[in-house]
Amino acid sequence: MARVRERIPDTFVPDPPDDELLRRVGLTRHEYERAVGLLGRKPNLVELGMIGALWSEHCGYKSSRLYLRELPTEAPWVLQGPGENAGIVELTEELAVVFKIESHNHPSAIEPFQGAATGIGGIIRDIFAMGARPIALLDSLRFGEIRPGKVNEEVRRRNLYQLHGVVAGIAHYGNCVGIPTVGGELMTDPAYNTTPLVNCMCVGLVRKERMVRARASGVGNPVFLVGARTGPDGVQGATFASAELTERSEEDRPAVQVGDPFLEKLLLEATLELAGHPAVVGIQDLGAAGLTSSTAETAARGGVGMELNLDAVPKRSAELSAYEMMLSESQERMLIIVRAGNEEEVLRVFRKWDLDAALVGRVIEEPVLRVFHRGEVVAELPVGLLTEEAPLYTPDYCRPREPYRPAGAGQPLCRDEVEATLAKRFGSPAAALREALAHPTVGSKLPVWRQYDHMVRIGTVAGPGGDAAVIRVVGERVGLALTTDGTARWVYLSPHRGAAKLVLEAALNLLSVGAEPLAITNCLNFASPEDLQVMDCFARAVEGMGEALREIGVPVVSGNVSFYNEGPLGKVLPTPVIGMVGKVEDVSRAVGMGLPGPGLELFLLGSSDLRLDGSLIAFDLTEIRAGEVEPPDYPAFRRLRELLSRAHREGLMAAAHDISDGGLAVTLAEMCITGSTGAEVTLPEGPGAFARLFSEAGQRVVVAVPAEGADRLSALAEDNGVACLRIGRSGGGRLIVRGESGQEWIDMSVEELAALHRGGVERWM
């Protein structure tokens, strides 16, 4: 990078550019030639940098766009689908929810604290740029092995360093800006050794008449740059995020930006004060590829062009070249297009919040981006070349697929064999439960989320640790339920079925607390798309996700793709993460997972083939990384959904918790731990204790119902055609689980369960 900006004039036209230069700007020779063809001339250095950044995987989605078109994006309640800063769905007649999830994996691998902090900063800006007040954050995190003795100690320490840094960075930024972090996930797997995933989701609320779009229009309208001064930080961050991490990535440190949450807070307040103001035409935050992408994208959406004067950009250093200014990813900046003649009204608001606003350009009719620096034109590119004409890689065009075939995947396991293996490995189901609870993926994340302010904005009715967070709209009965789900082991074994299962799992989380799903945002984390098997896995996962979403009538409204998640130690597991948003009609009636007391009847709703393929106990605890996830049963899911909705409406439920990581055993244990109440449960014995207790197959929920509502629930289940098993009763201080013939499977005190669960992450942090 240093070499590119070293005193070579910005307008120098490399003819032809050498391989090293192309590598630095992130273009292949083929892409370079495409650019020359479209432009009708050879681009200069600034233009090369701009094209490279916007054609990068990170901005241009060149490997994924084709597949993403398969996802459903429409529903009557969708007000804004993918393509803007964030998606918008209707919540009530007056209110809409704005949300998006985004990855910050690469920066977080190298500089965990700032990487995660600026990830939060970026996603928050996406939300308030649309005029919405951010009301919640969720983080889906993956780290390598953090337990000693399981991995090389140096690697483990690096993983822990990343975990501590990421959590501290999220806390630092989110707490300071005053947005509650209300949920998320944290899972560990050796596949993420030194290559963590950091996906941040932000949710905002907006009055419909105050929604703002990120588009430029009105020839002659002034363009303002507001917020932080522009520095050389993060130059080429977008291309950096589109290459694999190597041993040398440490040298890329200057490509990681430093965040200033206080400045973000000022920008947030000023932007929200301006949202809906007639003087404001469009607002766009500066994220990846900074000024280049924000100007090109707003101009493209409005079908106009833009002239930029770089001499007017407030700089941190006078030395900055045009190249650096166009590609800088300095944080906490916004681009605002104002109706000509109304500048003063807008500037007054920025002054109130102590913010610098500079007039840096104007909207022009001709659809080109023309950049001036020191009196000369340093770049002149058609807007379309930077946006819709970015390369699109298809199976037919230089990005073929090769059938995805990880070792052992794709063939169902023999259930009896697995049952026998697990019985031998653990000795007893109780021993397996102990190990499952103490696994970082299942164990309590309290040591993480107690560092996050999860209550600010007085909306948090149910915070971190449950199936879904429940956030009220202050002053109303209605609220939101939020969850993220991304169990990669299912997708690793069966990309299509696994991704479909994620969708159903997320929906079930919302249904469990009493919400109805509205829409999702997704963050698709995969290894290098240049690996043809990875591309195949990606394509199949997107297909599966799309199928499930269509089947349950839930659209995608925003998202992000992150490729190249691999390092010297290997590729990450294919990790699509879903952030789902649901509506709760009356937050005071939302239901949690904890058993609120003794004497409640426990029911197991839903059925499955009880396979152990891809379960935590087989995949993570026993290293059986083989098998095949069960096919999704959409009709069964719809019946279960109807049953849960009705049971919630009738107020039957005292607690509900869906079966996921660790199967029924962990579900029951978590209900006991959260409610500090024991339970006595009897289960059918076939096809085996381990299958009964630890299978994660199908969509199933355990619900607790007061004795007087038990018959009603059974009747409702029968009406809806849902398998319904009355399995026991809450009470006492122990979790006791037996087989039908009286065989004792688990008998543990709630204190012991809680202690194991509490230590799952805390012991190693």
Partner 1 sequence: MRAGVIVFPGSNCDHDTFHVLSQIVGADTRFVFHRETDLSDLDLVVLPGGFSYGDYLRAGAIARLSPVIEALHEFAQRGGLVMGICNGFQILCEAGLLPGALAVNTCLEFRCQWVHLRVENAATPFTSSLSPGQVLRIPIAHQEGRYIAPPDLLEELEENGQVVFRYCRPDGSLDLKEREAPYNPNGSLNHIAGIVNRQGNVLGMMPHPERASEKVLSSEDGRAIFMSALAAVGAAR
Residues carrying an active site annotation: 58, 104
| DSSP annotation of 318 | T
Least separation in angstroms between residue 474's CB and partner 1 is: 6
Indicate the residue among 715 and 755 with the shorter CB distance to partner 1: 755
Footprint (CB under 8 A) of partner 1, residues 80-119? none
Indicate the residue among 439 and 757 with the shorter CB distance to partner 1: 757
Using rule CB under 8 A, residue 226 touches partner 1: no
Footprint (CB under 8 A) of partner 1, residues 337-376? 353-354
**H-assigned helices in 62-177:** 65-68, 105-110, 112-128, 153-177
- Residue 88: phi and psi, rounded to 5, are -135, 130
Least separation in angstroms between residue 450's CB and partner 1 is: 6
Q: Assess contact for 198 and 187: CB atoms under 8 A.
A: no
Residue 639 and residue 287: Cα distance in Å, rounded?
43
Using rule CB under 8 A, residue 454 touches partner 1: yes
Least separation in angstroms between residue 515's CB and partner 1 is: 15
Q: Find tokens 């910050």 and name the residue.
A: 104
Q: Which of 6, 209, 248, 588 binds partner 1 (CB under 8 A)?
A: 588
Using rule CB under 8 A, residue 460 touches partner 1: yes
- Joined tokens for residue 565: 């998640």
Indicate the residue among 138 and 241 with the shorter CB distance to partner 1: 138
What crossing angle do the helices spanning 261-274 and 343-352 adopt, rounded to 10°?
Answer: 140
Burial class (CB in 10 A: 0-12, 13-18, 19+), 738: middle
Indicate the residue among 718 and 751 with the shorter CB distance to partner 1: 751
Strand boundaries in 218-375, DSSP class E: 222-227, 280-285, 305-309, 333-338, 357-364, 368-373
Using rule CB under 8 A, residue 474 touches partner 1: yes
Residues with Cβ within 8 Å of 757's Cβ and at least 6 positions away in sequence, in order, are: 437, 438, 442, 443, 444, 669, 670, 673
Q: Which stretch binds partner 1 (CB under 8 A): 119-127, 432-440, 456-464, 487-495?
A: 456-464
Pairing mode, strands 556-562 and 516-525: parallel
Least separation in angstroms between residue 359's CB and partner 1 is: 24
The answer to whether the bond into 16 is cis (omega within 30° of 0) is yes
Least separation in angstroms between residue 175's CB and partner 1 is: 6
Q: Which stretch binds partner 1 (CB under 8 A): 34-42, 63-71, 332-340, 446-454?
A: 446-454
Least separation in angstroms between residue 95's CB and partner 1 is: 16
Residue 488 and residue 127: Cα distance in Å, rounded?
27
Q: Which of 377, 398, 420, 455 binds partner 1 (CB under 8 A)?
A: 455
Indicate the residue among 448 and 554 with the shorter CB distance to partner 1: 448
Residue 75 and residue 436: Cα distance in Å, rounded?
40
Quote the distance between the C-alpha of residue 16 and its chain's center: 40
Least separation in angstroms between residue 583's CB and partner 1 is: 16
Q: Which stretch binds partner 1 (CB under 8 A): 286-294, 397-405, 443-451, 686-694?
A: 443-451
Residue 324 and residue 235: Cα distance in Å, rounded?
6
Indicate the residue among 455 and 715 with the shorter CB distance to partner 1: 455
Pairing mode, strands 479-485 and 197-207: unpaired
Residue 654 and residue 595: Cα distance in Å, rounded?
7
Using rule CB under 8 A, residue 261 touches partner 1: yes
Least separation in angstroms between residue 455's CB and partner 1 is: 5
Indicate the residue among 453 and 547 with the shorter CB distance to partner 1: 453
Q: Assess contact for 525 and 538: CB atoms under 8 A.
A: no
Least separation in angstroms between residue 532's CB and partner 1 is: 45
Pairing mode, strands 516-525 and 575-584: antiparallel
Strand boundaries in 266-323, DSSP class E: 280-285, 305-309
**Number of C-beta neighbours around residue 613 at 10 A:** 27
Footprint (CB under 8 A) of partner 1, residues 144-183? 171, 175-178
Using rule CB under 8 A, residue 755 touches partner 1: no
Pairing mode, strands 181-188 and 280-285: unpaired
Least separation in angstroms between residue 458's CB and partner 1 is: 4
| DSSP annotation of 75 | -
Residues that bind partner 1 (rule: CB under 8 A) add up to a total of 30
Q: Which stretch binds partner 1 (CB under 8 A): 4-12, 213-221, 453-461, 754-762?
A: 453-461
Q: Which of 265, 316, 434, 738 binds partner 1 (CB under 8 A)?
A: 265
- Joined tokens for residue 374: 């020191």
Indicate the residue among 263 and 438 with the shorter CB distance to partner 1: 263
Residue 107 and residue 113: Cα distance in Å, rounded?
9
Indicate the residue among 449 and 745 with the shorter CB distance to partner 1: 449
Q: Which of 142, 315, 472, 496 binds partner 1 (CB under 8 A)?
A: 472
Using rule CB under 8 A, residue 450 touches partner 1: yes
Q: Find the distance separating the first CA and the last CA of the chain, reported in whole Å.
A: 36
Using rule CB under 8 A, residue 723 touches partner 1: no
Using rule CB under 8 A, residue 456 touches partner 1: yes
Residue 218 and residue 593: Cα distance in Å, rounded?
53
Using rule CB under 8 A, residue 65 touches partner 1: no
CA proximity to 576, closest of 492, 696, 508, 659 = 492
Least separation in angstroms between residue 438's CB and partner 1 is: 22
Indicate the residue among 167 and 281 with the shorter CB distance to partner 1: 167
Amino acid at residue number 184: G
Q: Which stretch binds partner 1 (CB under 8 A): 263-271, 424-432, 520-528, 632-640?
A: 263-271
Using rule CB under 8 A, residue 272 touches partner 1: no
Q: Which of 457, 646, 734, 763 binds partner 1 (CB under 8 A)?
A: 457
Q: Which of 109, 124, 266, 737 binds partner 1 (CB under 8 A)?
A: 266
Residues with Cβ within 8 Å of 332's Cβ and at least 6 positions away in sequence, in order, are: 121, 125, 227, 228, 259, 260, 263, 264, 267
Q: Which stretch binds partner 1 (CB under 8 A): 317-325, 471-479, 529-537, 734-742?
A: 471-479
Indicate the residue among 308 and 355 with the shorter CB distance to partner 1: 355
Least separation in angstroms between residue 164's CB and partner 1 is: 10
Residue 165 and residue 108: Cα distance in Å, rounded?
8
Q: Which of 11, 394, 451, 676 binds partner 1 (CB under 8 A)?
A: 451
Indicate the residue among 587 and 659 with the shorter CB distance to partner 1: 587
Least separation in angstroms between residue 262's CB and partner 1 is: 3
Using rule CB under 8 A, residue 587 touches partner 1: yes
Residue 628 and residue 548: Cα distance in Å, rounded?
18
CA distances from 177 to 130, 174, 181, 204 (A): 17, 5, 11, 14
Using rule CB under 8 A, residue 260 touches partner 1: yes
Indicate the residue among 262 and 397 with the shorter CB distance to partner 1: 262
CA distances from 227 to 208, 221, 263, 309, 354 (A): 26, 20, 7, 17, 9
The site for partner 1 (CB under 8 A) is made up of: 171, 175-178, 260-263, 265-266, 353-354, 449-458, 460-461, 472, 474-475, 587-588
